[in-house]
Amino acid sequence: MVCLGLALLTASRARRGAADPVEGAVVRADPVARARAALTRGSRAVTVIDLRDDARFRDSVAQSIEQSPGVSLRSLGDPFAATSVTLRGATGAHVVVALDGVVLNDAASDGVDLNLVAPALLERATLYRGAAPLHLGGGSLGGAIELHTRSVTAPSVAQVSLGFGAFGTRRAAATVAGRSGPWRALAALGYRHTDGDFSFYDTDATPDRAGQFRPRRNNRADAVDLLARLCHQRAALRPGACLTALVSGRARGVPGVVPFESEGPFFTQSRALVRAELPLVSRRYTVAAFGTAMRRADRFVNDGPVPLGYGTGDRSETLVGELGLRAHPGVEGRDGLHAMLRARHETFRSLSRGGDGEASRSALFAGLEAHHTFARLHLDAGLGLDALVDARDGLAQRRALLSPRLGARVVLTPALSLRATLSRAARAPSLGELYGDRGSLQGNPALVPESAYQADLGAVFEARRGRSRVFTEVALWGRRADDLIALAQTSRATLRPFNTGAAWLAGVELDARLQILDYLEISVSYALTESAQIAPGSALDGRALPFTPRHDVGLRASYQRARWRAGAELSGRSAVWLERANVASVPGRALVGAHVMVALVRRPTQRVWLRAEVNNLLNLRTLSEDVTLGDRVFTRVVALQDSFGYPLPGRSVSLSLSWDYES
């Protein structure tokens, strides 16, 4: 890829060594380009994904980040279904997900469903593989994903998109934004719906017999998301006082695993988030005060036949309030001291037939990070301290978590640089793990936090010739995780979490992108991940961690010319183990997608786009694996899936129409 890029660059008609005369201006005006430029100057392994063009045509933000190196998704069905991310072998609970700086991982759950955020509301996603920045706290054992909602850069913007597709999928999104003097306002509304009735391969609970295709049941989902922001800013990308509100509601059937789909179970989730930021800008430092209030409410209803042990009306509510101060020199990414102080209080209430419960966590996070550049050497060092108090039924537990980090970047040539980081992260047990749910999960107050040391070494090659550009990053990384928490059965109907041991992980990542002139872009990502549990004396010692594919590859090509845009992508991965003993696995697979867009209207201030997209183009709906039964070897066919029993859809086609206005 690099060689091909160099050859093409050499052949380019652009003048050797000439910088793009408008690059600086573009970076200043474009929030995504600016974030990318700021972050890639540092020592972290980071990828900034522009979601403005594609995300509004998609059902899930997960679809847009899947191609990034080191990212593996685990979906429980269609793009509306719960999706968790595995980042460098770290599963849901070990990946921090934040929205506009607000950490969405709460003390009551063990990960964030990426599909809770409507993709149409988002501007960019920043993936931190390994060490995460200070403002995301110290709990990212594997990395972090920060989602950013849209910012207002133009005097007035309007965007409306409509889409429909296979399995009753419908999407609608509208955004209006504008500015008047220092005031900037944005309002966005998104609606998503699916019938979810895709067909899947079902063996009718007899996996050793031939099956048949039948439609998924009770898989309908609706989601409504509303974003509103009002800012007082002197310039688009300068800090300003902002008030942001995000309200989301989702309702969906819970079909469960096949072949035991249930008609009755239904799940509703609502999330409301309000965040206020008040920056106090001085000549050298920006100090911003912020406050966030967040409420998450989940309700599970089962009005169908009730399987044994299922509740019929379980509810839970999480309330989060936080206040903090954040300081950094000038604009973000500059050298100097970065500081963060955040107080956060979370209350979790559950009401179920097993009993009601309430627990809380109060946390104070303080962090300091120093960035400095000496000629070609950039150094950064930081330390975060989390002081936590967990409480339930009058009993309180206190703990302190340290998260130090060191990083360096050396610019060897204008095109080639090396970077390295060394960091430690720690995640406190969730409130459920500590105190139980008064149902099937028993608490274990003796749990200690999970922690991980990680090291990362990368080489970045980036060159630009005229309107062509090549970017290649190769990274080697390693992590040792300790005191990992896993569940074990303690009675006929209960599970309890235990600290069960440690693991080593190491990997190689390749991220290569080649842009040829303005119309062709090819990107390749590949991750090789090795993992081994450390459990001396146990059969698990040396075995791989579950849900971590050894090979994960993504290929993407996009083309744009005049009023046409087209793209194709391939996402493939090897088999993943489903449990720690490495006995049960899901076979590997490769999925192909493609899209084509045409600008029906192309005026200076207006665009009307028509887009057709095909996911799982080759209609892969089954996977094969060899099984030995008795004295014979058979080939068993299973439904396409990421995890036990949750089938993924076959080929789906969607059509979208979008009107963009910008003055």
Partner 1 sequence: MRAAALAIVSLLSLGCGGSPAGVEATDCAALAGRLLGAPERRRLLVIGSNFTTGVAFRIDPATMQTEPLSLGVTGDTVARMAGDALVLLHRSQTQGDNLTLFDARPVRPRYVCQLALSRDDERVRGLRPWVNAHDVVALDASTLAVARYNLGSLAVIDLQRGALTRTVDLTAFQGRAALPYPDAMARVGDEIWVSLQRLDDLVHPTQPGLIVRFDAALTRVVGTLALPYANPYGPFRRLDDGRVALATLGDYSVIGDGGLLAIDPQSQTVTVLRDEAALGSNLDGFVFFDAERVLLKRAGARDGGGGEVGVRFTIEGGDAPRELVQRALWAPAFPEVMGALGWVGDPGRALGDDAAVRAFTRDGDAIAAFTMPDAMRPYDLLPVP
| Smallest gap from residue 131 Cβ to partner 1 (A) | 29
- Give the range of 17-25, 362-370, 379-387, 638-646 binding partner 1 by CB under 8 A: 638-646
Which residues in 240-279 contact partner 1 (CB under 8 A)? 256-257, 259-263
Q: What are phi and psi of 660, to 5 degrees?
A: -115, 135
Query: Residue 397, interface with partner 1 (CB under 8 A)?
Result: no
Is residue 613 a contact partner of residue 593, using CB atoms and an 8 Å limit? yes
Query: Residue 4, interface with partner 1 (CB under 8 A)?
Result: no
Return the ∠ at Cα 367 (arms to 364 and 372), rounded to 5°.
170
| Smallest gap from residue 434 Cβ to partner 1 (A) | 9
* Cα–Cα dist 596/617, whole Å: 13
Output the CA–CA distances (angstroms, integers) from residue 409 to 45, 381, 442, 582, in the order listed: 11, 12, 46, 38
Residue among 528, 547, 538, 552 at smallest CA distance from 502 = 538
* Cα–Cα dist 105/431, whole Å: 12
Is residue 429 a contact partner of residue 422, using CB atoms and an 8 Å limit? no
* Cα–Cα dist 474/469, whole Å: 17
- Give the range of 377-385, 418-426, 456-464, 631-639 binding partner 1 by CB under 8 A: 631-639
Q: What are phi and psi of 375, to 5 degrees?
A: 50, -110
| Smallest gap from residue 616 Cβ to partner 1 (A) | 9
In 353-411, at which residue ranges do the beta strands (DSSP E only) sit?
355-374, 377-392, 395-411
Which residues in 215-244 contact partner 1 (CB under 8 A)? 217
Query: Residue 394, interface with partner 1 (CB under 8 A)?
Result: no
| Smallest gap from residue 203 Cβ to partner 1 (A) | 6
Query: Residue 205, interface with partner 1 (CB under 8 A)?
Result: yes
Which residues in 582-621 contact partner 1 (CB under 8 A)? 582-584, 589, 617-621
- Per-residue binding letters, 542-581, with partner 1 (x by CB under 8 A): ------------------------------------xxxx
Considering only residues 539, 600, 601, 655, which one is a binding residue for partner 1 as defined by CB under 8 A?
539
Output the CA–CA distances (angstroms, integers) from residue 600 to 160, 365, 564, 607, 658, in the order listed: 14, 51, 9, 7, 10
Considering only residues 282, 494, 605, 663, which one is a binding residue for partner 1 as defined by CB under 8 A?
494
- Give the range of 104-112, 157-165, 365-373, 482-490 binding partner 1 by CB under 8 A: 482-490
Which residues in 339-378 contact partner 1 (CB under 8 A)? 353-355
Residue among 598, 139, 619, 160 at smallest CA distance from 385 = 139
Query: Residue 147, interface with partner 1 (CB under 8 A)?
Result: no
Query: Residue 491, interface with partner 1 (CB under 8 A)?
Result: yes
Query: Residue 201, interface with partner 1 (CB under 8 A)?
Result: yes
| Smallest gap from residue 290 Cβ to partner 1 (A) | 36
Query: Residue 3, interface with partner 1 (CB under 8 A)?
Result: no
Return the ∠ at Cα 66 (arms to 64 and 69), rounded to 5°.
125
* Cα–Cα dist 420/471, whole Å: 18
- Per-residue binding letters, 422-461, with partner 1 (x by CB under 8 A): -------------xx-x---xxxx----------------
